[in-house]
Chains A and B, each alone.
Chain A
Amino acid sequence: MATVTLAKAVTMGLRAAMEADPKVLVMGEDVGKLGGVFRVTDGLQKDFGEDRVIDTPLAESGIIGTAIGLALRGYRPVCEIQFDGFVYPAFDQIVSQLAKMRARALGKVSLPVVVRIPVGGGIGAVEHHSESNEAYFAHTAGLRVVACSNPVDAYFMTQQAIASDDPVILYEPKRRYWEKADLDESLTLEQAAPLHSARVLRSGTDATVIAYGPMVKTAMEAATAAAEEGKELEVIDLRSLSPLDTGTLEASARKTGRVVVVHEAPGFLGMGSELAARITETCFFSLEAPVLRVTGFDTPYPPSRLEEEYLPDLDRLLDAVDRSLAY
Chain B
Amino acid sequence: MTDSALGTRHIPTQGSEPELVQLLTPEGQRVEHPTYSLQISDDELRGLYRDLVLVRRVDAEATALQRQGELGIWASLLGQEAAQVGSGRAMAEDDYAFPTYREHGVAWCRGIDPLNLLGLFRGVNHGGWDPDEKNFHLYTIVIGAQTLHATGYAMGMQKDGAESAVIAYFGDGATSQGDVNEAFIYASVFNAPVVFFCQNNQWAISEPIEKQTRIPLYQRAMGFGFPGVRVDGNDVLAVLAVTRAALQKAREGSGPTLIEAYTYRMGAHTTSDDPTRYRLTHELESWKLKDPIERVKAYLVRTGKADQAYFDALEREADGLAAHVRRGCLEMPDPDPLSIFDHVYAERHPLLEEEREQFAAYLETFDAVDAHDAGDR
Give chain A's interface residues, CB within 8 Å of chain B.
29-30, 32-35, 37, 55-59, 61-62, 85-86, 88-89, 124-128, 268, 297-300, 302-307, 309-310, 316, 319
| CB-defined contacts of B352 to chain A, threshold 8 Å | 297-299
Do A305 and B141 contact each other (CB < 8 Å), given the known contacts A37-B205, A58-B212, A125-B72? no
Tell me if B205 and A305 are in contact (CB < 8 A): no
| CB-defined contacts of A298 to chain B, threshold 8 Å | 351-352, 355
A85, A126, A128: most-surrounded residue (chain B CB, <10 A): A126
Tell me if A62 and B176 are in contact (CB < 8 A): yes
A325 and B73 alpha carbons, distance in the complex (Å): 43
8 residue pairs from A and B, CB less than 8 Å apart: A58-B173, A85-B141, A126-B73, A127-B126, A299-B341, A305-B122, A306-B335, A309-B337
Q: In the assembled complex, how far is the CB of residue B163 from the closest CB belonging to chain A, in whole angstroms? A: 34
Is B294 in the interface zone, CB < 8 Å from A? no
Do A316 and B362 contact each other (CB < 8 Å), given the known contacts A33-B277, A57-B211, A126-B141? yes
| CB-defined contacts of A85 to chain B, threshold 8 Å | 141-142
Q: In the assembled complex, how far is the CB of residue A93 from the closest CB belonging to chain B, in whole angstroms? A: 10
**A31's closest neighbor in chain B, by CB?**
B206
Tell me if A34 and B73 are in contact (CB < 8 A): no
| CB-defined contacts of B174 to chain A, threshold 8 Å | 58
Is B286 in the interface zone, CB < 8 Å from A? no
Is B314 in the interface zone, CB < 8 Å from A? no
Q: Which of A58, A59, A304, A309 contacts B123 (CB 8 A)?
A: A304
A124 and B72 alpha carbons, distance in the complex (Å): 6
Is B340 in the interface zone, CB < 8 Å from A? yes
Q: Which of B123, B278, B351 contacts A34 (CB 8 A)?
A: B278
| CB-defined contacts of A297 to chain B, threshold 8 Å | 340-341, 352, 355, 359
A306 and B342 alpha carbons, distance in the complex (Å): 13
A284 and B62 alpha carbons, distance in the complex (Å): 57
| CB-defined contacts of A34 to chain B, threshold 8 Å | 205-206, 277-278
| CB-defined contacts of B334 to chain A, threshold 8 Å | 305-306
Tell me if B277 and A305 are in contact (CB < 8 A): no
Tell me if B206 and A32 are in contact (CB < 8 A): yes
Q: Which of A30, A89, A128, A307 contacts B207 (CB 8 A)?
A: A30
Is B40 in the interface zone, CB < 8 Å from A? no
A126 and B337 alpha carbons, distance in the complex (Å): 17
Q: In the assembled complex, how far is the CB of residue A94 from the closest CB belonging to chain B, in whole angstroms? A: 14
Give chain B's interface residues, CB within 8 Å of chain A.
72-73, 101, 119-126, 141-143, 173-174, 176-179, 204-207, 211-212, 272-273, 277-278, 334-335, 337, 339-341, 344, 351-352, 355, 359, 362
Q: Which of B119, B141, B278 contacts A128 (CB 8 A)?
A: B141
Q: In the assembled complex, how far is the CB of residue A260 from the closest CB belonging to chain B, in whole angstroms? A: 15
**A127's closest neighbor in chain B, by CB?**
B126
A85 and B339 alpha carbons, distance in the complex (Å): 22
A29, A33, A55, A127: most-surrounded residue (chain B CB, <10 A): A127
Tell me if A58 and B141 are in contact (CB < 8 A): no
| CB-defined contacts of A59 to chain B, threshold 8 Å | 176-178
| CB-defined contacts of A299 to chain B, threshold 8 Å | 340-341, 344, 352, 355
A302 and B73 alpha carbons, distance in the complex (Å): 16
| CB-defined contacts of A124 to chain B, threshold 8 Å | 72, 123
A35, A89, A306, A310: most-surrounded residue (chain B CB, <10 A): A306
Do A303 and B212 contact each other (CB < 8 Å), given the known contacts A58-B176, A58-B177, A61-B178? no
Q: In the assembled complex, how far is the CB of residue B267 from the closest CB belonging to chain A, in whole angstroms? A: 16
A9 and B273 alpha carbons, distance in the complex (Å): 22
Do A305 and B124 contact each other (CB < 8 Å), given the known contacts A29-B205, A59-B176? yes
| CB-defined contacts of B143 to chain A, threshold 8 Å | 58, 86
Tell me if B277 and A35 are in contact (CB < 8 A): yes
**B121's closest neighbor in chain A, by CB?**
A126
Tell me if A125 and B176 are in contact (CB < 8 A): no
Tell me if A89 and B178 are in contact (CB < 8 A): yes
| CB-defined contacts of A300 to chain B, threshold 8 Å | 344
A127 and B362 alpha carbons, distance in the complex (Å): 26
**A61's closest neighbor in chain B, by CB?**
B178
| CB-defined contacts of B207 to chain A, threshold 8 Å | 29-30, 32, 55, 58
**A129's closest neighbor in chain B, by CB?**
B141
Tell me if B340 and A310 are in contact (CB < 8 A): yes
| Additional pairs, 10, CB under 8 Å, beyond known A55-B207, A309-B337 | A86-B143, A89-B178, A126-B101, A126-B120, A126-B123, A127-B126, A299-B340, A302-B340, A305-B124, A306-B334
A62 and B141 alpha carbons, distance in the complex (Å): 19
Q: In the assembled complex, how far is the CB of residue A66 from the closest CB belonging to chain B, in whole angstroms? A: 12
